[in-house]
Structure 1
Amino acid sequence: MKKTWNFSAGPAILPKSVLEKAQHELLSYENSGMSVMELSHRSSLFQAVIDDAEAHLRQLMSIPDNYKVLFIQGGATLQFAAVPLNLLKDGKAGYIVSGSWGEKAYQEAATLVGDRAVILANTKENKHTLIPEVTEIPEGLDYIHITTN
């Protein structure tokens, strides 16, 4: 079998062991008689999937308990609107622009909330070839947005 390496944004290559486990559990996840794709999002078995994913993500990225982890659908472009509409309260939103997706996220927020969306750092002058250094974080930000790819 030929194996292709996918380095594009979005879905990427998975380790063979992960694919084999998914294959094994496709018809009956955790011996439930249903695949994980058939589980009710309200079931305890699916909640365990979400809890496990969040715990692993927190460990992998050192996310402290006082931060929320959101698993949301709709793709990046939808989230560019959903994030400021849901997270912006009384303050401002800080944007670290490190590429075209970060630029799109900032533009969408600026369209929705005007000057309450502020750029903290931008690497456009460097053709977005690096993650910009943020030298100062102003007070009163409700959140900071960065797209790292």
Structure 2
Amino acid sequence: MPVEELANFVLSHGNNRLKNPEEIAKTLKSAANRAYRLNPDMCDTVSMTLTLTLENIRFLESQLKKLDKEISKQLNGFRQTLTTIPGFGNVLAAGLVAEIGDVDRFKNECAVAKFARLVWNKYQSGNFSAEDTSLAKCGNQYLRYYLVEAANCVRIHAK
């Protein structure tokens, strides 16, 4: 990649936090040139391997886009308001809907948390109650994953 193009890439992905993108681009280019010297006979083979790998990545990205569209289409068949929460996408909402199912089967939010393995074990004896306890090991690990990811997405989006 030419230095000018690399500098534009650094500038666009640096969120204007980098002072001199041209100098950074030159440094990156020289570091890349020094990093690994290829045998000249291997250049064509390595280039072809990298090209095929990039084609595979692009193919997988296109498959993910198709899958996301299908998930969005299927999610529209369910009555839910999760996607109105800032930071929630269709895939995250679909995962939560799939793992929770009918929310009316739970008495309260504590029951959902317990089902999702988001409760801490209690260690107590007499007047002693331990403060440092571990998370429970029973419950739906996938729901726990989706709830933790959802909380993180909301946290990031709320900044």
- Measured against the shorter chain, the TM-score band is under 0.3
TM-score scaled by structure 2?
Answer: 0.21
Higher helix share: 2
Question: Which structure would you say has the larger Rg?
Answer: 2
Higher strand share: 1
TM-score scaled by structure 1?
Answer: 0.22
